[in-house]
Amino acid sequence: MPRRLRQTLDNLAIPLLAVVLGLVVSSVFVLMARTDPVQTYQRMFCEGFGAKGCQTFGDLLVTQTENEDGSTSTVFAPFYGAGGHRLAVVLERATLLILTALSATVAFKAGLFSIGMDGQFVLGAITAAFLGYWLPGQVYVLAGVADPESAPQTLLTVMHLLMPPLCIAAAMAVGAVYSWIAGFLKVRLNVNELISTIILNAIAVQIVNYLVRYPLRSDFNSTARTTRIDDTAWLIPFNRGLFQDVEWFSGSRLGIGIVIAILAAVIIWFFLWRTTAGYEQRMAGGSRLFARFGGIPSEQAALRAMLISGALSGLAGAIAILGIERRVVDGYAAVGIGFDGVMVAILARESIPAIIVVAMFFAGLQQGATNLQFGDLPRQLGSIIIAFIILFSSMETFFRNLINRIQTRLRPQRAPAAEVRPS
C-alpha cells in the first residue's frame, strides 16, 4: 500500500526534521557559550543515550569491547553497558513519562483537554509514600513484630506480595477521584476542564508540600521528607534484584515499573480501539455532536475517561515512589513530571506506540541536557536545546506544507488528473 508507506515516511520525516532544525537553531546559543556545537551535541547524546565511555555519535551505535583474551571486538552499543548504560536511566524516567502521557492521551481522545496529570501524579505519589510505610507499620504492630529485621520470612513474603498492589491501587483511586472532580465540573456545570485542572494541579502541589513539611515529616533533616517506605512495599529495581549481575542496569533504578507501563500502554490501546467504552470515548472526542446524535451517552463517556486518566497518573505517582524515590522529599511536587507527560502525549500526537518512543527520546534528551552541566557548559543550555526541539516538533503543519511544496515543485507538470469522483 504505497499511500500508507508514504504516510509513515512523512510521519517519521517530520520529527527527524524537527530535531535537526532544533539542534541547528540552538547552535546559535551554543556558540554564544563559546563552545563547539558538534562537540556539545555529541556529549549531550552520549550522556543521554550512550554507554559508559561514549565519546562520539558513532559510539552510540557501535563500540569496541575487550575480550577476555585481550583481543577487541565490535559490538552494537545499546546492548553493551559495562559499568551501566545510560539507556537504563532513560527507561527509568521514561516509565513515568509513558504513564502520564497515556493519562493525557485518554483524556485528549475523549475530547477533554485535561492537563491535570501533575496534580494526580503528586497526590498518587504522596498516597503511595504514606501507605508504603504506614501500612507495613500497622501490620508489624498487629503481628507483634518489634523489629522488621527479625520478622518471620513468611510474613515478609506475604507482605511483599500484598503491599505494592495495595499502595498502587490506593494511589490510582486517589488520582482517579481527583481527575473525576474536573470531569464532574465539566459535565454538570460546563466548567472548562483546562482551567479546572490547572487550578487542581496548583492545589494538589500545595497539599503535598504541606503534608511533607508537617504531618508526614519524618525527621529533622534540613530538607523535609517523609519516612522511607518499608522494604516490603518497595518495587525492587532490577540492579538490586532480578538482574543484579547485569551491568547494563547498574546505576539505574529501573524496575518492574517499565513492564507495568508498557503493559498499561497495551491495555489502553486495546481499551480505546477494541471496546465499546473506548469507542464511545473516542467518538465523543472526535465530535461531541456526532456522539450525541448516535445515541452515545457522552457524559458518562467523559466521566469514565477522566477516571481512567486520573488512575493512570496516580499509577505513575505510585511507581515513582515505590520503585524509584521511596519517599517524597520536599520539592518533589514541583518537578513537573505530569507536565512532561502532557508534552510527550502532544508530541506523540496521541498515538500510543509513538508515546513509548517519544517518552524515551524525551527522557534521554533531558538527561543529556542535565548532564551537560558537569562539563564546562552552563546548565541552561540544555534546557534551551530541548525547548527548541520541542518547539520545532510542534510545528507539524509547517513541515507538512514544506514537504508538500517540495513535492509539487518536483512534479509541476500535469500530474494529477483532477480528482474525479463520480457520485
Residues in contact with another protein by the rule CB under 8 A: 273-277, 279, 282-283, 286-287, 289-297, 400, 404-405, 407-408, 415-423
Nearest approach, Cβ of residue 306 and another protein (Å): 19
Q: Which is nearer to another protein, 215 or 295 (CB)?
A: 295
Q: Choose among 192, 353, 178, 343: nearest CA to 272.
A: 353
- Look up residue 64 and give its DSSP letter: E
Nearest approach, Cβ of residue 205 and another protein (Å): 34
According to DSSP H, which parts of 110-143 are helical?
A: 117-143
* Other beta carbons less than 10 A from residue 76's beta carbon: 9
Q: Which is nearer to another protein, 137 or 294 (CB)?
A: 294
What separation in angstroms does the CA of 114 have from each of 63, 108, 109, 125, 349?
A: 44, 7, 10, 19, 15
Q: Which is nearer to another protein, 160 or 288 (CB)?
A: 288
Q: State the Cα–Cα distance between residues 176 and 171, nearest whole angstrom.
A: 9
Q: Which is nearer to another protein, 6 or 213 (CB)?
A: 6
**Residue 142 contacts residue 269 (beta carbons within 8 Å):** no
Q: Which is nearer to another protein, 70 or 416 (CB)?
A: 416
| CA angle (219, 222, 225) in 5-degree steps | 50
Q: Which is nearer to another protein, 53 or 294 (CB)?
A: 294
Nearest approach, Cβ of residue 305 and another protein (Å): 15
Name, in order, each residue with C-beta under 8 angstroms of 337's C-beta and a sequence gap of 6 or more. Answer: 96, 97, 100, 118, 121, 316, 320
Q: State the Cα–Cα distance between residues 311 and 170, nearest whole angstrom.
A: 9
Q: Which is nearer to another protein, 223 or 276 (CB)?
A: 276
Q: Which is nearer to another protein, 9 or 143 (CB)?
A: 9
| CA angle (225, 382, 320) in 5-degree steps | 30
Nearest approach, Cβ of residue 338 and another protein (Å): 26
DSSP string, 326-360: SSPBTTGGGS-HHHHHHHHHHHTTT-HHHHHHHHH
Nearest approach, Cβ of residue 280 and another protein (Å): 8
Nearest approach, Cβ of residue 22 and another protein (Å): 25
What separation in angstroms does the CA of 54 have from each of 84, 240, 407?
A: 12, 25, 39
Nearest approach, Cβ of residue 403 and another protein (Å): 10
Nearest approach, Cβ of residue 296 and another protein (Å): 7
Q: State the Cα–Cα distance between residues 282 and 294, nearest whole angstrom.
A: 13
